[in-house]
């Protein structure tokens, strides 16, 4: 049995009540004007609630190319021309009204360093920010209903206490005597001129829904969160010049209502806007700021200005404050100026500045994480723990995100292109913050007393005094009349009581008449005065009417001038808009011009390269054409010379044959030998003798003497008929010996070369150049003595690129059947050269033909005559026929003719 440890059951999620109303976090966006006119702008305001981000030109081509135009929506977007008053009316004014109605609020500014957060919160002379305007509206609303100083005081546990007038006076004297506690500034002091210029009287705001049955007291405190430590900016620590002590950090605690507060933080009671701003300015001078590359006065800490409003109800009579601290409601509004996020690569921070930037970014990242977890819990129904304690900023304001008041955020944006990437991160955080919902705070009832207690108390005090005065006046008036005598009649004969009564009444009547006359005189005087006043009033009204007419005319002139000014302003705006459009168009055209100019330069460079390449090709082709022309000219000259020599040889051979035939015929007809005629000289030209002969590309022919007699023997072994009748071979041999030919002279293929020893005779194909001897496997071997032999040749049955790459010449042996039935062999020669693609190609230049003939075969030509003469003529014809063959074959014919004589 395996015992497993039981797991702790998961705590069930608290059931969410559906009747709680929630509001999303109000996120607003404010766009700061550009610092310079010609800076590149990456933010565009599309509508009153939407902005669009444009990627700057330097980032359009980076990493994934996903920098596209993105739009972000907010509750409201404030452009560059938005005034501080408009911003206050839409954002901070509802928070002050909620503060007066016992509801908490949180307002903080968020953005990149240098985006205008401190200006939005504090402002400048002439343009007061949200903080001084909130103080001004608060004191304008509760000014007549404030409690005496120190009647309501704060304790050290985020609560308040109630004191009577005497205790409050003693407390004030005690505080004034203590040096460690900062003195409350007096409201009789002169107004700070710097603050007086911030808010004009025309821009003063006031809340009309103020509960007059309460007394109010305002307490302010000012702290900063620096390097994740909390410091009190209003604390007056004694200064020791010898051993100065650094300010001590404060800790966060939780009160009995589970609200977070800064323990030991100084809270100053203020009675006017000037006093409150003076306290703020005192703490602002202690706030840590520094000069960086991006901002001359960069906030290095998060500042939190807390306005706490205590509302104590009056008693049933409306005279004094209830002495029950449980009936006092306390609400607070936190104005937070967050330090700007920054990149150290841009600010070039070092040392302490680098550590400050790291802590600032870490706290902002914690705020982002808390918002993400809250959003996930609300949208997905999860119950993840929100990491408020990771940072002092989020830990201090956790109650607001849990539903203790309204939360509003102002996203400040600097539209310059350098802040594009940081601005995108800020936009994503703001967009995510809008999806977080915060529980709507409920109204807190003050007490169960009837409303209007202060007003009734004032009414009781006013009419009672007036009644007493009227009664005293009537009593004095009655006392001025004479006293009435006794009017009781006891005796019917009494005649004194009535006369006395009549006398007193007559005196009273006289006094009344006098008073009536005096009253009439006074009334007449009053009437005359009233008439005079009426006439004066009429004159004044006429004067006012005239002045109003003049004022109306002036108003008309002013309205016309205003209309003209508005028209000019609209025209100026339109012209500015057109100028912007023209400027953008000019920039686009300049960019296109630069790109086209760059492209034109590139095309010109490419054209120059192509022209130079073309010139090189033309020069190269001209060289090749010149070389080819010279080559063909030489080849044509060689061929012409060879053809002339060939024709001369043929002509000489025919002449020689005719002479031999003539000699034979003459010898046979006479029957006796005659003297051998002198061998005629071979015709030649002077230039053939003197000019050097070129070497032919084809193998040279063997000497005729070797062809006719390859096996030399003695003269006795020759036939007897050859001594009697000189043979053609002897004649040619003698002629060749008389006219030797230089072996270096180039000749046509199959042209006989003379003067070469038979042992040293080789084919010209066997020179220093290597040959590819292509002999197909279908060729037949001929059993003749003379065979074309090419030494130092690669013999192949099928040509291959490997064999061709090693040689310079190529010969193909081709066999076919001739018209007489004999096998004819052709040697097809060519030059091997390399191609541009790296292969090999063959250019055919010459063809040699080898043919085998049988001397014993019957001749096709027959002549009429006797039998012996016919046989002799046949033998002569067979011999001579060898000479009239193709010049490339006559050598082989001589071998075929000589072999039968050798065998005999």
Statement: residue 706 has pLDDT above 50: no
The pLDDT assigned to 609 comes to 93
Choice among 285-294, 689-698, 840-849 with the minimum mean pLDDT: 689-698
Segment 662-670 shows an average pLDDT of 80
What is the rounded distance in angstroms from the CA atom of residue 753 to the CA atom of residue 827? 19
Do 112 and 349 form a contact (C-beta atoms < 8 A)?
no
Q: Which two tokens stand for residue 103?
A: 């509801």
What CATH number did the domain enclosing 859 receive?
A: 2.60.40.4330
Do 453 and 317 form a contact (C-beta atoms < 8 A)?
yes
Statement: residue 665 has pLDDT above 70: yes
Residue 799 lies in a domain: yes
Statement: residue 549 has pLDDT above 70: yes
Closest Cα to residue 397, out of 107, 28, 719? 107
Please name the residue that has the structure tokens 């060729």.
Answer: 779
Residue 1 lies in a domain: no
What is the rounded distance in angstroms from the CA atom of residue 92 to the CA atom of residue 134? 7
Residue 55 lies in a domain: yes
| Residue, of 243 and 888, whose pLDDT is higher | 243
Statement: residue 187 has pLDDT above 60: no
The pLDDT assigned to 862 comes to 45
The pLDDT assigned to 763 comes to 45
What is the rounded distance in angstroms from the CA atom of residue 598 to the CA atom of residue 426? 38
The pLDDT assigned to 801 comes to 82
Closest Cα to residue 727, out of 704, 750, 711, 753? 704
What is the rounded distance in angstroms from the CA atom of residue 710 to the CA atom of residue 706? 5
Find out whether 821 is annotated in a ligand binding site: no
Residue 39 lies in a domain: yes
The pLDDT assigned to 687 comes to 46
Segment 808-829 shows an average pLDDT of 84
Residue 342 lies in a domain: yes
pLDDT in tens, 256-265: 888 899 998 9
What is the rounded distance in angstroms from the CA atom of residue 121 to the CA atom of residue 233? 17
Please name the residues in contact with 747: beta carbons below 8 A apart, sequence gap of 6 or more: 642, 645, 693, 696, 700, 753
Residue 883 lies in a domain: yes
Find out whether 117 is annotated in a ligand binding site: yes
Statement: residue 669 has pLDDT above 80: no
Find out whether 690 is annotated in a ligand binding site: no
Please name the residues in contact with 371: beta carbons below 8 A apart, sequence gap of 6 or more: 429, 432, 433, 436
**The domain containing residue 837 runs over which residues?**
771-895
Please name the residue that has the structure tokens 């046989």.
Answer: 871
pLDDT in tens, 397-416: 988 888 788 899 999 998 88
Statement: residue 191 has pLDDT above 80: no
Q: How many domains does the chain contain in total?
A: 2
Residue 698 lies in a domain: no
The pLDDT assigned to 189 comes to 46
Q: Identify the H or E element spanning 61.
A: none
What is the rounded distance in angstroms from the CA atom of residue 693 to the CA atom of residue 740? 13
What confidence category does residue 425 fall into, taking pLDDT thresholds of 50, 70 and 90? confident
Please name the residues in contact with 94: beta carbons below 8 A apart, sequence gap of 6 or more: 406
110 CB neighbour count, 10 Å cutoff: 24
Q: Which two tokens stand for residue 720?
A: 């007897």
DSSP 899: H
Find out whether 118 is annotated in a ligand binding site: yes
What confidence category does residue 626 fall into, taking pLDDT thresholds of 50, 70 and 90? very high
386 CB neighbour count, 10 Å cutoff: 18
What is the rounded distance in angstroms from the CA atom of residue 366 to the CA atom of residue 639? 100
What CATH number did the domain enclosing 254 receive?
A: 3.40.850.10
- 761 three-class SS: coil
What confidence category does residue 348 fall into, taking pLDDT thresholds of 50, 70 and 90? low
The pLDDT assigned to 480 comes to 66
Segment 127-153 shows an average pLDDT of 90
Statement: residue 124 has pLDDT above 80: yes
Segment 359-388 shows an average pLDDT of 88
What confidence category does residue 730 fall into, taking pLDDT thresholds of 50, 70 and 90? low
Closest Cα to residue 211, out of 136, 150, 142? 142
Statement: residue 608 has pLDDT above 90: yes
Choice among 254-268, 350-364, 528-542 with the minimum mean pLDDT: 350-364
Q: At which of 439, 464, 484 does a domain end?
A: 439
Residue 155 lies in a domain: yes
Find out whether 116 is annotated in a ligand binding site: yes
Average pLDDT taken over every residue of the chain: 75
pLDDT in tens, 732-761: 455 455 544 443 443 344 333 333 344 444
Do 311 and 216 form a contact (C-beta atoms < 8 A)?
yes
Share of the chain above pLDDT 70, in %: 69
What is the rounded distance in angstroms from the CA atom of residue 884 to the CA atom of residue 896? 15
Q: Identify the H or E element spanning 270.
A: strand 268-270
What confidence category does residue 854 fall into, taking pLDDT thresholds of 50, 70 and 90? low
pLDDT in tens, 67-123: 677 899 999 999 998 999 999 999 999 999 999 998 999 999 999 888 889 899 988
The pLDDT assigned to 538 comes to 87
The number of angstroms, rounded, from the C-alpha of 125 to the middle of its chain's C-alpha atoms is 39
Statement: residue 349 has pLDDT above 60: no
What is the rounded distance in angstroms from the CA atom of residue 582 to the CA atom of residue 562? 29
Find out whether 112 is annotated in a ligand binding site: yes
The pLDDT assigned to 692 comes to 45
Closest Cα to residue 882, out of 848, 851, 847, 904? 851
Find out whether 8 is annotated in a ligand binding site: no
Segment 489-500 shows an average pLDDT of 77
Closest Cα to residue 79, out of 46, 111, 54, 55? 46
> Pairing state of beta strands 123-124 and 104-111?
unpaired
């Amino acid at each position: 049995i395996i015992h497993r440890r039981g797991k702790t059951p998961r705590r069930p999620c608290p059931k969410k009540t559906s009747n709680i109303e929630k509001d999303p976090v109000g996120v607003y966006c404010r766009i700061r004007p550009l610092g310079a006119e010609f800076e590149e702008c990456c933010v565009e305001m599309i509508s009153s609630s939407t902005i669009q981000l444009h990627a700057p030109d330097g980032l359009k081509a980076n990493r994934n190319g996903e920098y596209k135009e993105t739009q972000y929506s907010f509750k409201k977007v404030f452009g560059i021309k938005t005034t501080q008053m408009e911003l206050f009316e839409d954002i901070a004014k509802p928070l002050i009204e909620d503060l007066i109605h016992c509801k908490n609020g949180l307002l903080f500014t968020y953005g990149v360093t240098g985006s205008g957060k401190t200006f939005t919160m504090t402002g400048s002379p002439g343009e007061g920010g949200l903080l001084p305007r909130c103080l001004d509206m608060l004191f304008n609303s509760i000014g007549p209903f404030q409690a005496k100083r120190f009647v309501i005081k704060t304790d050290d546990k985020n609560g308040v206490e109630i004191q009577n007038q005497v205790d409050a006076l003693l407390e004030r004297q005690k505080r004034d005597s203590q040096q460690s506690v900062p003195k409350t500034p007096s409201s009789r002091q002169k107004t700070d001129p710097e603050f007086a210029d911030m808010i004009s009287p025309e821009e003063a705001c006031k809340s009309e829904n103020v509960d007059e049955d309460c007394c109010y007291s305002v307490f302010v405190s000012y702290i900063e969160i620096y390097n994740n430590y909390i410091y009190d900016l209003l604390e007056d620590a004694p200064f020791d010049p010898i051993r100065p002590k650094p300010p001590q950090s404060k800790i966060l605690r939780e009160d009995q209502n589970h609200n977070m507060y800064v323990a030991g933080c100084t809270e100053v009671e203020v009675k006017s806007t000037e006093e409150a701003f003076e306290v703020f300015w005192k703490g602002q001078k202690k706030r840590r700021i520094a000069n960086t590359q991006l901002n001359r006065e960069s906030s290095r800490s998060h500042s939190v200005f807390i306005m706490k409003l205590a509302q104590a109800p009056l008693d049933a009579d409306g005279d004094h404050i209830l002495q029950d601290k449980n009936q006092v409601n306390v609400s607070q509004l936190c104005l937070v100026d967050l330090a700007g996020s920054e990149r150290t690569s841009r600010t070039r921070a070092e040392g302490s500045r680098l550590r400050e930037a790291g802590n600032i970014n870490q706290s902002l990242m914690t705020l982002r994480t808390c918002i993400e977890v809250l959003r996930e819990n609300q949208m997905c129904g999860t119950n993840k723990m929100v990491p408020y304690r990771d940072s002092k900023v989020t830990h201090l304001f956790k109650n607001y995100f849990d539903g203790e008041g309204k939360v509003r955020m102002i996203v400040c944006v600097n539209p310059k292109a350098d802040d594009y990437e940081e601005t995108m991160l800020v936009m994503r955080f703001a967009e995510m913050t809008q999806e977080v919902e915060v529980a709507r705070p409920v109204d807190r009832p003050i007490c169960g007393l009837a409303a209007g207690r202060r007003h009734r108390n004032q009414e009781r005090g006013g009419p009672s005094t007036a009644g007493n005065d009227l009664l005293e006046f009537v009593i004095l008036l009655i006392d001025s009349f004479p006293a009435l005598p006794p009017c009781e009649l006891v005796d019917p004969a009494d005649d004194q009581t009535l006369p006395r009564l009549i006398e007193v009444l007559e005196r009273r009547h006289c006094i009344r008449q006098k008073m009536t006359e005096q009253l009439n005189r006074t009334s007449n005087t009053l009437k005359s005065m009233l008439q005079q006043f009426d006439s004066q009033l009429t004159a004044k009204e006429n004067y006012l009417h005239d002045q109003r007419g003049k004022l109306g005319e002036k108003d008309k002139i002013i309205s016309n001038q205003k209309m003209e000014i508005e028209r000019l302003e609209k025209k100026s705006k339109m012209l500015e808009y057109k100028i912007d459009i023209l400027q953008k168009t000019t920039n686009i055209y300049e960019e296109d011009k630069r790109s086209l100019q760059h492209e034109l330069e590139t095309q010109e460079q490419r054209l120059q390269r192509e022209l130079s390449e073309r010139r090189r090709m033309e020069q190269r082709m001209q060289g090749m054409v010149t070389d080819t022309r010279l080559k063909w000219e030489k080849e044509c000259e060689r061929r012409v010379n060879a053809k002339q020599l060939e024709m001369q040889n043929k002509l000489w051979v025919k002449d020689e044959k005719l002479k031999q035939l003539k000699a034979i015929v003459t010898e046979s007809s006479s029957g006796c030998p005659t003297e051998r005629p002198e061998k005629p000289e071979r015709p030649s030209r002077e230039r053939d003798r003197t000019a050097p002969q070129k070497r032919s590309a084809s193998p040279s022919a063997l000497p005729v003497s070797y062809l006719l007699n390859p096996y030399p023997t003695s003269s006795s072994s020759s036939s007897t008929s050859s001594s009697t009748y000189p043979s053609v071979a002897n004649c040619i041999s003698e002629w060749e010996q008389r006219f030797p030919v230089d072996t270096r002279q180039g000749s046509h293929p199959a042209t006989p070369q003379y003067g070469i020893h038979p042992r040293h005779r080789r084919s010209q194909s066997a020179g220093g150049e290597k040959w590819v001897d292509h002999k197909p496997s279908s060729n037949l071997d001929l059993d003749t003595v003379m065979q074309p032999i090419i030494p130092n040749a690669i013999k192949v049955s099928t040509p291959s690129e490997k064999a061709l790459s090693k040689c310079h010449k190529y010969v193909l042996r081709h066999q076919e059947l001739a018209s007489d039935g004999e096998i004819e062999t052709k040697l097809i020669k060519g030059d091997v050269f390399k191609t541009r693609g790296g292969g090999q190609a063959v250019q055919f230049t010459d063809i040699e033909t080898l043919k085998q003939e049988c001397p014993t075969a019957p001749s096709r030509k027959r002549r009429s005559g006797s039998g012996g003469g016919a046989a002799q003529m046949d033998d002569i014809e067979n011999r001579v026929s060898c000479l009239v063959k193709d010049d490339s074959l006559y050598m082989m014919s001589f071998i075929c003719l000589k072999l039968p004589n050798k065998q005999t």
